[in-house]
Amino acid sequence: MTHTAEEIANYLGAEIEGDARAPISGLASPERAAVEDIVYLDSPRFEDRVAKSAARCVLAARGTRLAGKTIIEVEDPKLAFAKVGALLAPRKVPVPGIHPTAIVPPSANLGENVTVGPYVVVEERVTVGRQTVIEAFCFVGRDAQIGENCWLHPRVTLYAGARLGNRVEIHSGVVIGGDGFGFVFGEGRHWKFPQVGTLEIGDDVEIGCNSAIDRGSLETTKIGLGVKIDNLVQIAHNVQIGEHTVVAAQTGVSGSSRIGKQVLVGGQVGIADHCTVEDGAILGAQAGIPTGKTIRGGQTVWGTPARPLNRFKQQYALFARLPEFAERIREVEQRVKRIEQAEG
């Protein structure tokens, strides 16, 4: 669908500089953009590539001027671009209905305009909210609850009793509500600790491919409003993750840890059990958080064990010079030895 630059500006609540009637029908990177595509400029270092783009319309900061371009002036061009994307490239929703190969018992309660794809298995007493899409080969265990406008991509598994809020998107291969890794050693063997808790996922959560989130052992695993979880992430039993936190790929969070609101967790971070990460903290890639440690609110940490970023940089710089220091120590030792030999 084609919109004018003026319509896009009104949609964003933004000012416009240039041709208000310029047609916009798509969005792209500057190098791949066509005339009717819209692009964004969020840094002066990219100005040349945007200026050379075929796109006539640019989302940019107030006061930006580019020859031959219509500028829609916004505070955050990248955010505005994401919002325009929702307008210009809306998701194509499948035709509602239950595929003939799907298994849906009479006790399941499906809302209006729900899509259930091929070979989906829905167990007893499942509740699914209106306009939710469950794609091929998904499994939804008994008593699970799925909110409205959710999207389960192919081969998602929801164990019994899992609860999803509204507008939750779960990508292929994700397992929700499996048993936590809890065992007690005694009498020469490992005894399984009961894994009978629940799992709650809040509204507007997105979970990437092949991630796993365990149910609580005796309590509840909770993923808060707007949390975004990347691919290949493991969230253990009883973990709590606060609103709008982001967790990057290959991160592991051990049991009973608490992660606050608006935390940024880098790739391959390891968080041991019973840790606390307070609101607004940043955990750099491959950081290791030892058992029971608290990362204070707003703090940026790196390394293993994790330490404040400035301290990590100082220590890392010294670590990189260890070969030089070792050589200097050898030289000092040789001098001392020569002096001792001369005095002896």
Q: What is the DSSP letter of 283?
A: E
Q: Which two tokens stand for residue 55?
A: 């796109």
Name the DSSP class of 55. -
The active-site residue out of 3, 153, 171, 237 is 237
Residue type (1 letter), 338: R
C-alpha to C-alpha distances, 342 to 9, 241, 328, 335, 338, nearest whole angstrom: 85, 67, 21, 11, 6
Told to judge if 237 belongs to the known catalytic residues of this protein, a careful annotator would answer yes
Nearest one of 263, 278, 228 to 249, comparing CA atoms:
228
Separation of alpha carbons 211 and 227, rounded Å: 14
Beta bridge partners, 23, equal: 4
Measure the CA–CA gap between 169 and 290, rounded to whole angstroms: 31
Residues 6+ apart with CB under 8 A from 53: 30, 31, 33, 39
Catalytic residues: 237
